Amino acid sequence: MNTPGIICIETEWEHTIRDNRLPIHTEPLLEFIKKAYNCKVIYRRVATYAELAFYLRRFNRAEYNDYGIFYLSFHGDKQLIQLEGEKGDNKALTLKELAEVADGAFEDRMIHFSSCRTMRGYEDDLLDFKEQSGAKLISGYTKSVNGVLSAINDIAFLSQLLEHPSRPRTAKDKMDKYYEGLGDELGFRVIYFFGKAQEPMDS
C-alpha cells in the first residue's frame, strides 16, 4: 500500500497569542515527517469558518485522494474545535458541524485532532461523528495538553499511521507499547471501530 499523504489545516494562533502560552506551529513537524517518510504534505492555515470550508471543499476533489490523513491543529474543547477568527457563538465548531461542513472530505480518511479535549466524552457521540463524516479513524486528546508533549505524540502517531496505513489497530498497539505514559498524560484516544460506549471523560 502506498504511503498516504497528509493534509494539515491549522488555526492562526496569533489571534489568541495572549492566551496561547506556547504557539507551536505544526509546519516544522510536518517537514520532519515528510523527509523521514518521503510522503506528500499539504499545509494550510485558517482563522474563519469560510476559510475552513473553502479548503475542505478543495480537498474533497479526486486529485487529493492520495492524501489519506487529515491533521487538524486548533484550540479545542469537548467535541469541538475553535475558529480563532470568529467571535462569540461562531467561534466554536462542534464535531457534528465539522462533519457537515466537510461534506464528504473526511470519507475513508484518518483524522487526527491536535487540540485540547476534542476527544472528550462518550464514545457513542464520537462514533456518531465518525459515521457522519465517513472517517475510518479519529484520534486526539481528552485533556488540556502541553504543546511540547502533544507535538511529540503527534509525530509518533503520524509515523505509526504512515507505517501501518491499513492497520489502525497495529498503529494504536505500537503507541501503547512505546508511548503509554505519554498517552495517559495527554488523554490520547483513538477510535477506529464500532463498540460499546465508554464512560464520559469529564475529570
Number of domains in the chain: 1
pLDDT at 17 over 60: no
> Is 200 inside any structural domain?
no
Give the pLDDT score at 20.
46
Residue 80, in any domain of the structure: yes
Decide if pLDDT at 66 tops 70.
yes
Domain around 56 = 6-191
Residue 203 lies in a domain: no
**Using 50, 70 and 90 to split pLDDT, how confident is the model at 25?**
confident
| 196 in any annotated domain | no
Among 142, 136, 179, which residue's Cα sits nearest to residue 157?
179
Structure-block grid coordinates of residue 187 = 488523554
**How open is the CA angle 112-116-49, to the nearest 5 degrees?**
70
- Taking the model in full, what pTM does it have? 0.91
- Between CA 39 and CA 107 the distance in angstroms is 20
Ramachandran region, residue 103 (left: φ > 0; alpha: ψ -120 to 50; beta: rest): left
pLDDT one-digit tens code per residue, 169-196:
999 999 999 999 999 999 999 998 754 3
> Percentage of the chain with pLDDT > 70?
89
pLDDT band at 19 (very low <50, low <70, confident <90, very high): low
Q: Rounded mean pLDDT of 135-144?
A: 97
The H or E element spanning position 70 is strand 69-73
What is the pLDDT, as a whole number, of residue 195? Answer: 45
- Evaluate whether residue 175 is within a structural domain: yes
Domain-embedded: residue 135: yes
C-alpha cell at 102: 466537510
Amino acid 113: pLDDT: 98
Backbone angles phi, psi at 57, to 5 degrees: -65, -45
Amino acid 22: pLDDT:
52
Residue 202 lies in a domain: no
Tell me, what CATH number does 120's domain have? 3.40.50.1460
Band (pLDDT 50/70/90 cuts) for residue 23 is low
Mean pLDDT of 30-37: 96
Q: Which amino acid is at 47?
A: A
> Tell me: the pLDDT tens digits for 34-53?
999 999 999 999 999 999 99
Q: Residue 27: inside a domain, yes or no? A: yes
Contacts 24+ apart (CB under 8 A), 154-157: 154/26, 154/29, 154/71, 154/112, 154/114, 155/29, 155/32, 155/33, 156/182, 157/112, 157/188
